[in-house]
Structure 1
Amino acid sequence: MQKRISKRRSWLINAIIFIASFYAFRLVFDGCMNGNFNNTLALGGAVIVTGIIFWWQQRQPQAAKNLKNVDQTMLTHYRKAGMSDEDIQFFRETMSTAKDQIDQLNQNMQSVPKLRAIELHSEPVKVSRAIFKTIVAEPQKLHAASDFLYRHLPTMVDLTEKHIAISKHEVKDKDTYTVLDKSATVISDLAQQFRDDYEALVADDLSDIDVDITLAQAALKKSQTAAKESNDDEQ
Structure 2
Amino acid sequence: MLGPINYLTRHFINVLAGSTAFIVSVVNISGIAMILSLPLAMGAYYLSNKITFAVQNANQRKKIGLSKSEYQLIDAQLKQAKAHTQSLTQQIVRVRSIRSFKQINEMSKLSKRIINIVQTNPQKFYAVEDFFYAHLPSAVQLSDKYTLLTKEQVTGNEIHLALEDTRKTLKDLHVTMEEDLKNALASDIENLKIELDFAKMSNEKRKERLKVGGE
Q: TM-score, normalised by structure 1?
A: 0.63
- Please state how far the C-alpha of 1:145 moved relative to its aligned partner: 1.9
| Residue aligning to 1:56 | none
Determine which of 91, 109, 120 is the counterpart of 1:126.
109
Unmatched segments (≥5 aa) in structure 1: 1-65
Q: TM-score, normalised by structure 2?
A: 0.68
Q: Which moved more, 1:149-158 or 1:169-178?
A: 169-178
| Residue aligning to 1:81 | 64
- Please state how far the C-alpha of 1:72 moved relative to its aligned partner: 6.5
| Residue aligning to 1:210 | 193
- Please state how far the C-alpha of 1:218 moved relative to its aligned partner: 1.2
Query: Larger % of helix: which?
Result: 2
| Structure-2 separation of matches of 1:87 and 1:196 | 24
| Residue aligning to 1:108 | 91
| Residue aligning to 2:155 | 172
- Please state how far the C-alpha of 1:135 moved relative to its aligned partner: 1.1
| Structure-1 separation of matches of 2:122 and 2:190 | 19
Q: Which moved more, 1:220-229 or 1:67-76?
A: 67-76
Q: Which moved more, 1:110-119 or 1:213-222?
A: 110-119
- Please state how far the C-alpha of 1:189 moved relative to its aligned partner: 1.0
* AA matched with 2:102: A
Cα contact 1:109–1:116 (8 A) shared by 2: yes
- Please state how far the C-alpha of 1:107 moved relative to its aligned partner: 1.3
Distance 1:67 1:145, change over 3 A: farther
Higher RCO, 1 or 2 (CA under 8 Å, sep at least 6)? 2
* Percent of aligned positions that are identical: 23
- Please state how far the C-alpha of 1:157 moved relative to its aligned partner: 0.4
- Please state how far the C-alpha of 1:225 moved relative to its aligned partner: 2.7
- Please state how far the C-alpha of 1:69 moved relative to its aligned partner: 7.2
Distance 1:119 1:173, change over 3 A: same
**Could you say which structure has the larger radius of gyration?**
1
Cα contact 1:67–1:89 (8 A) shared by 2: no
- Please state how far the C-alpha of 1:86 moved relative to its aligned partner: 3.4
Distance 1:221 1:128, change over 3 A: same
Q: Which moved more, 1:192-201 or 1:109-118?
A: 109-118
The count of corresponding residues between Structure 1 and Structure 2 is 165
Output the aligned Cα RMSD: 2.4
Distance 1:80 1:215, change over 3 A: same
Cα contact 2:91–2:104 (8 A) shared by 1: no
- Please state how far the C-alpha of 1:87 moved relative to its aligned partner: 3.2
